[in-house]
Chains A and B, each alone.
Chain A
Amino acid sequence: MIGILKSMATTMKHALDGSTFTVEYPETAPDVSPRFRGVHKFSQERCIWCRQCENVCPNDTIQIVMDDQRNGEQYNLHIGQCIYCRLCEEVCPVDAILLTQNFEFTGDTKHDLVYNKEQLKAVPWYKDIDPLESREPDRGAWIGEGDGEVDYQ
């Protein structure tokens, strides 16, 4: 009996202190940490069409089309299929593909979620957080360092 009353007192205490843990989402967006991996942003200016990202992608989310002179024509990324592992960003030697913090994207059909390079370019920074900044200290650990065997395929 004491235990039951204690349980009831506990929940009543929460009811009376009036504090809430949840937030009203669109008005108060929860904090997104700088490292958060959201939808991709692509920079055609930087891309050297090395196709490393296409190669490393675990589930063929990225598709690149090039002409016979190895000039890039298309860069398609199915953000509905993507598992947000960040491996494409990790292998990219020139930071041409980045995962922004932006998690707010929708589509009416799954075809809407296939982004081409123009759409990927237009993805905005989330709350002006530049993902590169937060990743700065450890960049050495994941781009182009190490004297091991490098396989450019």
Chain B
Amino acid sequence: MSTELEPQTPEVTENDLEALIGDRALRRDDHLNAPGFVIRPDDVQDVLFDLRDEAGFDHLSCLTAQQYEDRYESIYHMKKYADPTQEVSVVVPTSVDNPVSQSAEPVFRTADWHEREAFDLVGIDYEGHPDPRRILLPETWQGHPLSKDYDQEQPQVVTLAEHANPIQPDHHDEESDTMFLNIGPHHPATHGVLHVKTVLDGETVVDIDPDIGYLHRCEEQMCQQGTYRHQIMPYPDRWDYVSAGLLNEWAYARAAEDLADIEVPEYAQVIRTMGAELCRIASHFLALGTFCLDVYGDFNAVFQYSFRDREVVQDILEDLTGQRLMFNYFRLGGVAWDLPEPRDEFIEKARDFLDELPAKISEYNDLVTGNEIFQVRCNDTGVLEPDLAKSYGCTGPVARASGIDYDLRRDDPYGYYENLDWDVITRQGCDNYARVLCRMEEVEESAKIIEQCLDLLEDWPEDDREIQANVPRTLKPDPDTEIYRAVEGAKGELGIYIRSDGTDKPARFKIRSPCFHNLSSLEEISEGDFIPDLIASLGSLDIVLGEVDR
């Protein structure tokens, strides 16, 4: 396997890109975050291959589809794993009458699910797509909800389809037979309402097809109906709803602040950084606990211990934000509240938690990672090779456990991270065990960050504690500006695309969910394994269906 400590790829200037794309670029359509090139719908693969292989854009971060009055548009947001500040947007317009565009699936595997979603919600057809089905909505759904001519009042009939064994014809012989098994949507180990259509040969998984969308709550559309200033912020808490709230809020805050050009006071950035890392710890504890639930069975103590420790973090967050999960603490231009009074008490409470953390971590090490049976269960299962991880757009601990040194907190700095002293954890194991270890070590790094933030906050001069910039109550960014911004969420790169149309509400709001990408790799990492490994791999990907389905 390749180690990811490649030399930094040289900066690709806009001139290089223009030269590379050449005549295929019909015109420029720059976004706030990246240069954008408009290309013809049948040049997609060609251009993306060139960008990936010649210019090193190996990360298809997101695909946004939207409809204008006169055209459909697919935007491929591309980045580099080695340097995510180098970005390029490939804009593919298609006509309203015949919205057909070439599929990017041969270039990036992750385009598979993204294009299915674009087809499902917006209604663009992707030519050459291997599996052009709906993904979030039921197969029988009529119309595409985010397209202009969609009638929301139209009644929908959703039938309960019987699931057939997709590989029955190829695998049926006299000696062995395959069995189709629905794992989920109601199953103890699917971490929500995930439905995995599984085909088994004995205990071996021969084919799986994750079926998502059971928790689709139209989050993107809800955000399109809310005002930038206030009404969007409560919703990010509900994407990844297991205590990663502040990290999600930051994704929206970062995108919107860059869109409206809002400066955030330094003091608020420190509070944000501290809160976000507390959320990361809580989220990783939960990931550890539920993963152990999958591997140990119920009645195991690790699950309870990790929930107990997460509880402490939640108490601290409750003191800070006023809520345990649905924080709604960030505001555009800062945070809602300063540290609670008395400050010393809060700081001491947080320090107490950090002081106890090493003992707890070593207890987890005794309980979990040192346990031989645990090692036997997790080593070399659910192997995700780095190249594959990149092709699927995996990020966060899943990618870092496959040796991909990619962390937006360091590579695309925001908040106060660049002024603090901490490390990005990577592991070379690529397997379930590496993913667990990676999360546990990240908890320690987060603790380091919080420690430094607390020191800073304690000594911050009293007359300089500005928690919010002066932002007008009604925010109307310039019309037709587009931005795609990402932060490092608990599960990986959480990106937001916003297009403004001059009103106080976004015209298009697209969420790039890390879980969506990580889950799409499940097929690759668990086929050929046993059922217990499928369950363990699913657990180690640490998905939250609220964020997958949005």
Hey, which bits of chain A sit against chain B, CB under 8 A?
Answer: 1-4, 6-7, 9-11, 14, 21, 31-37, 56, 58, 83-87, 90-91, 134-135, 137-138, 141-142, 146-151
Contacts and interface: CB of A to CB of B under 8 A. Distances in A.
B370 A85 contact: no
Contacts of B232: 58
Given A3-B372, A87-B230, A138-B338, A148 B473 contact: yes
A1 B368 CA distance: 13
Contacts of B135: none
Given A21-B308, A33-B322, A150 B338 contact: no
A148 B471 contact: yes
A149 B470 contact: no
Contacts of A7: 366-368, 370-371
3 smallest CB-CB distances across A and B, nearest first, come from: A148-B472, A35-B322, A85-B234
Contact of B231 (A34, A84, A86, A87): A87
Contacts of A148: 470-473
9 contacts: A14-B305, A32-B318, A85-B326, A87-B234, A137-B341, A138-B336, A147-B470, A148-B470, A150-B473
Contacts of B234: 58, 83, 85, 87
A44 B478 CA distance: 40
Contacts, number: 114
Interface in B155-174: none
A33 B315 CA distance: 8
Nearest to B338: A138
B311 interface: yes
A134 B340 contact: yes
Nearest to B343: A137
Given A3-B371, A85-B328, A148-B471, A58 B230 contact: yes
A37 B322 contact: yes
A140 to B, nearest CB: 9
A2 B232 CA distance: 52
B26 interface: no
Contact of B366 (A10, A86, A147): A10
B308 A10 contact: no
Contact of A141 (B315, B319, B336, B370): B336
Contact of A35 (B337, B368, B468): B337
B269 to A, nearest CB: 15
B218 interface: no
Given A7-B371, A85-B234, A149 B472 contact: yes
Given A87-B230, A147-B470, A36 B371 contact: no
Contacts of A135: 337
Contacts of A58: 222, 226, 230-232, 234-235
B301 interface: yes
Nearest to A146: B470
Interface string B348-379: 00000000000000010011101111110000
Contacts of B305: 14
A35 B319 contact: yes
Nearest to B470: A146
Given A33-B319, A35-B322, A148-B471, A3 B328 contact: no
B234 to A, nearest CB: 4
B318 A138 contact: no
A141 B468 contact: yes
A93 B470 CA distance: 17
Nearest to A87: B230
Nearest to B235: A58
B371 A137 contact: no
A36 B468 CA distance: 21
B336 A142 contact: yes
Most A CB contacts (10 A, CB to CB) among B322, B334, B340, B371 go to: B322
Nearest to A153: B474
B328 A86 contact: yes
A4 B473 contact: no
A134 B226 CA distance: 29
A151 B366 contact: no
A3 B231 contact: no
B391 to A, nearest CB: 36
Nearest to B375: A3
Contacts of A33: 315, 318-319, 322, 340
B371 A149 contact: no
B51 interface: no
B456 to A, nearest CB: 19
Interface in B453-491: 467-468, 470-474
Given A3-B372, A33-B315, A141 B337 contact: yes
A91 B336 CA distance: 12
Contacts of A9: 366
Contacts of B340: 33-35, 134
Contacts of B467: 138, 141
Nearest to B300: A11
Contacts of A138: 336-338, 467
Contacts of A37: 322-323
B405 to A, nearest CB: 29
A151 B474 contact: yes
A148 B305 CA distance: 49
B500 interface: no
B356 to A, nearest CB: 13
A90 B374 CA distance: 49
B326 A83 contact: yes
